[in-house]
Chains A and B, each alone.
Chain A
Amino acid sequence: MSTETLLNPFFGEYGGMYVPQILVPALLQLEKAFVQYKDDPVFKAELNDLLYNYAGRPTPLTLCRNITKGTKTKIYLKREDLMHGGAHKTNQVLGQALLAKRMGKTRIIAETGAGQHGVATSIVCALFGLQCRIYMGAVDVKRQEPNVFRMRLMGAEVVPVTTGIATLKEACTEALRDWSGSFETTHYMLGTAAGPHPFPTIVKYFQKIIGEEAKQQFKGFENDKLPDIVVAAVGGGSNAIGMFTDFVKEESVRLVGVEPAGYGIETGKHGAPLGHGDKGIFFGARSYNMQDKYGQIHESHSISAGLDFPSVGPEHAYLKDSGRAEYNSVTDEEALNAFKELSLHEGIIPALESSHAVAWALKEARANPDKEQTILVNLSGRGDKDIFTVANILKERGEF
């Protein structure tokens, strides 16, 4: 085996493979399998069969009928919420599971925040008869209870991680710890376009179908035109990179990633490393992190467990610095309002993660009511998992 990577592990200055030497062979093995199979006709046919006949692709593109009233903006939603499993996560776990099988791995571990990636991982493990262990922050286990039950129902072992602030950051670190002792039999099914090489590249490859499909569907609705703006929420960055990738080359299209501003950027309680973090190396890659001047990683905050992460995938750091994409943020409150509006006026209950993208699109539309524009929003997941969280907040406020 060569000691060098087959693919470039960097996106500009970001990315890389900053893991203990002991994990490098596992990463190189994964990279090799990816390079070997990604264009293999048998592999592709198997993946497509699963995507279309098991997971529910293609997902529809929906024009919002009501929430844009009073503006000249058209908002289209890419309905990843209708995927089997309830979010875009299923796209890439199918790909990784097929790679894991070809590498002869019998056990899968994964980290999860909102539980969507944990659910997706549990789905493929049940389907392929793989042993499955999910690391989830103890706080998230509580706030995403329905997803925990789903995972257990499908045979996964859910391990609550109690270290630190017991959310996604700790779950990621714990999964890496497990893997450093188990890589011979175990595949680490990383859930987002972050972490050490080759994960950001692999996850993007399996998620870019979102943008490719959406572009064709949009052209069908809009006379072969492209959207003016493409928007996606950014936690680790997988739904956003999946949506952006096919549009990066389309220079007329404005790409907007939306990070969680939590209680407000000025409070420090947010999860917006791209907008308000510093360069660092964490979770195996160089990127933007929320950290202090010494490099200690800060705790993040977001109403949405899936966006509650103090780092971000390295390609987004690159897209930010190159100016190709811009990264804005919306608060918990704004996301919550978008959650309510989309439910009330479009009959779609969005995930709190996706609500951030919707909130930004609505703000943009309402700030420019006379501007004729089209916005394509990645509705990355459905909000069923969030209804108890939201119900508690609304009850506390006496709104419900």
Chain B
Amino acid sequence: MATEEESTVKEPLDLIRLSLDERIYVKLRSDRELRGKLHAYDQHLNMILGDVEESVTTVEIDDETYEEIVRTSRRTVPFLFVRGDGVILVSPPLRTV
């Protein structure tokens, strides 16, 4: 019975639990995205991520042509504590798709 409960998704946080020690994708507020290995999390979605790639997307409007200039800056961080209130979406590695 216990093994069955470990592998099923009964509440949304189970999805996060099943992603422990896997690389996940995290979408944060202010157009930030993280990809990293999930080491720990709690009910607030505070997370410890390892080997993180952070990408920040900025959109600037050209003063003269009014064209949108989309810039993505990336950096890597060995370890990151993420405060849960910034989290919008968490996606585990693709299993089926």
Partners in one complex: no
Interface residues of B (CB under 8 A from A): none
